[in-house]
Amino acid sequence: MNRFLVPRRAALVLAALLAAGCAAPPPPPPPPPSNQPVPFEQAVAAATDALAAQLQPSKGGNLLAQLQAKPARRTLVLDPSLDAGSGQQTAGTQQLDRLASERLAARAEQFEVLPFRAANLARAQLVLTGTLTRLNQAYRINLAATDLATGVVAAQASAVATEASVDMSPLPYYRDSPVLVKDKVIDGYVLTSATPVGQKGDATYLERIAAATVINDAMVSYNAERYEEALGQYRSALATPAGEQMRVLNGIYLSTSKLNRPAEAEAAFGRVVAFGIAARELGVKFLFNPNSTEFWSDPKISGPYTMWLRQIAREAGTAKVCMDVVGHTSKTGTEAYNDALSLRRATTIRQRLIGESAELGSRTRPQGMGFRQNLVGSGSDDAVDALDRRVEFKIVAC
């Protein structure tokens, strides 16, 4: 070989360098999302692009290795996003999932986004979690990609969307739910979505992620009005080691109610109450007529309330606990008016409980919190902020 001839491999490298010099430079990475609210789709795009940029592998080695290397493809499984305050899935969180997954999937060489199924957990490297957190007339989007093998957050990004561009109407399961389903698992999900890069996601959430796939299947069935199928899936979830969660017990109650099985439904609601008492807090959606202590006039809404009160009294008596009965209102009207109204409603619930079990007279006391502990805070007085008009039963020392 002539020593003055350029070896073939070196020639290829040289050609690549010359081509790269003539080609347009690659687009710069997206700027970090600011705290300035923008329309929802724009905010999701900013957060998703920032997340994707963090997941790009750093290029090491010599120039030839960099030229020959193909971009590493990351496989993510998407655990459906939640409203951080209430723990609910809403139209807005559903849209967040769709927009983020579509934007990642558009980079097909870099990302594969899989549905939240048990079989996909074995294939995926990362789990994608997302939340919407209500701010002052805006919502913060948090996205996190957590390594399933180590539990370490590999990427985390956020952006802020204008309030008017986000629809927070709850999906059917949450709209129909009589109770607040936010427990330690949901709290862990919310924490994981906001965990800084390099730190571990919440252990309670990650340890129960396999059960969460079964729960998600059941919720999809319920939202599609396939109640028999949902009931079977919720019972399957309950049979798993990590399946005893508020979402599961509540799902069994809702499904048996929709299937018109009153005895099963009452037993299921009793288990919901027992779980809440054991966790030392149970929030129940008792809806009242406006500016009144009378239950909502539509029996389709208030019909189950007598049964709910009976089970709350029974389980509280069995557990021998003392409780604060705490009334809440949505953010409409003055603070003083809502404090008084929430106290009157809490007193009404307490009196109904004493009617079911006289011993609760000495072990309960009413409190009114007005709108100071809103979970949603929209002040819309409709299905969106129904959880703000709840009554809580907080276990206290006797």
Q: Where residue 222 sits, what CATH number does that domain have?
A: 1.25.40
Tell me, what's the pLDDT at 65? 46
Query: pLDDT-derived band of residue 388, with 50, 70 and 90 as boundaries?
Result: confident
| Residue 1 domain flag | no
Domain hosting 383: range is 280-398
Residue among 386, 367, 371, 286 nearest 329 (CA)? 371
| Residue 7 domain flag | no
Q: Are residues 83 and 192 located together in one domain of the fold?
A: yes
Q: Of 221, 239, 271, which closes a domain?
A: 271
- 294-306, pLDDT tens digit by residue? 988 889 889 999 9
Beta bridge partners of 153: 146
pTM greater than 0.95 (yes/no): no
pLDDT mean over 118-140: 95
Tell me, what's the pLDDT at 4? 43
**What is the rounded distance in angstroms from the CA atom of residue 120 to the CA atom of residue 385?**
34
Q: Are residues 200 and 241 located together in one domain of the fold?
A: no
Among 196-200, 248-252, 295-299, which is the least confidently predicted range? 295-299
Tell me, what's the pLDDT at 311? 98
pLDDT at 69 over 50: no
| Residue 392 domain flag | yes
| Residue 5 domain flag | no
Report the number of distinct structural domains present in the chain: 3
| Residue 15 domain flag | no
pLDDT mean over 57-76: 62
Q: Of 252, 271, 290, which closes a domain?
A: 271
In the DSSP assignment, the letter for residue 107 is S
**What is the rounded distance in angstroms from the CA atom of residue 30 to the CA atom of residue 50?**
6
Q: Of 231, 248, 271, which closes a domain?
A: 271
Residue among 92, 88, 115 nearest 39 (CA)? 92
Tell me, what's the pLDDT at 25? 40
What is each CA distance from 273 to 6, 328, 349, 372, in whole angstroms?
A: 79, 19, 15, 24
Strands (E), the chain: 74-78, 82-83, 111-114, 126-135, 138-147, 153-162, 281-284, 322-327, 364-368, 391-396
pLDDT at 171 over 80: yes
pLDDT at 226 over 70: yes
Please return the burial class of 284, using the count of CB atoms within 10 Å of its CB with bins 0-12, 13-18 and 19+.
buried
pLDDT at 2 over 50: no
Q: Are residues 34 and 145 located together in one domain of the fold?
A: yes
Among 15-24, 92-101, 174-183, 219-228, which is the least confidently predicted range? 15-24
Q: Are residues 167 and 241 located together in one domain of the fold?
A: no
Tokens of 290: 């406006």
Tell me, what's the pLDDT at 58? 60
Q: Are residues 263 and 330 located together in one domain of the fold?
A: no
Q: Are residues 49 and 113 located together in one domain of the fold?
A: yes
Tell me, what's the pLDDT at 59? 52
Query: pLDDT-derived band of residue 15, with 50, 70 and 90 as boundaries?
Result: very low
User: Is there a contact between 393 and 312 (Cβ–Cβ < 8 Å)?
Assistant: yes
Beta bridge partners of 326: 367, 392
CB atoms within 10 A of CB 112: 18
3-state secondary structure at position 293? coil
Among 30-44, 181-195, 347-361, which is the least confidently predicted range? 30-44
pLDDT at 82 over 80: yes
Q: Are residues 100 and 140 located together in one domain of the fold?
A: yes
Q: Are residues 245 and 289 located together in one domain of the fold?
A: no
pLDDT at 266 over 80: yes
**What is the rounded distance in angstroms from the CA atom of residue 46 to the CA atom of residue 42?**
6
Tell me, what's the pLDDT at 365? 97
Q: Are residues 248 and 104 located together in one domain of the fold?
A: no
CB atoms within 10 A of CB 129: 29
3-state secondary structure at position 146? strand
| Residue 354 domain flag | yes
Q: Which CATH number fits the domain that encloses residue 188?
A: 3.40.50
3-state secondary structure at position 33? coil
| Residue 25 domain flag | no
Tell me, what's the pLDDT at 383? 62
| Residue 10 domain flag | no
pLDDT mean over 295-321: 94
Q: Are residues 291 and 378 located together in one domain of the fold?
A: yes
pLDDT at 179 over 50: yes
Q: Are residues 78 and 195 located together in one domain of the fold?
A: yes
Q: Are residues 220 and 289 located together in one domain of the fold?
A: no
Tokens of 187: 């709290």
pLDDT mean over 279-290: 89
**What is the rounded distance in angstroms from the CA atom of residue 66 to the CA atom of residue 198?**
25
Q: Which CATH number fits the domain that encloses residue 344?
A: 3.30.1330.60
Type of residue numbered 48: T
Query: pLDDT-derived band of residue 331, with 50, 70 and 90 as boundaries?
Result: confident
Query: pLDDT-derived band of residue 136, with 50, 70 and 90 as boundaries?
Result: confident
- Compute φ and ψ for 324, nearest 5 degrees: -90, 125
CA end-to-end distance (rounded Å), the chain = 95
In the DSSP assignment, the letter for residue 251 is H
User: Is there a contact between 368 and 340 (Cβ–Cβ < 8 Å)?
Assistant: yes
**What is the rounded distance in angstroms from the CA atom of residue 393 to the CA atom of residue 138?**
30
Query: What percent of the chain stands above pLDDT 90?
Result: 72
**What is the rounded distance in angstroms from the CA atom of residue 312 to the CA atom of residue 378?**
29
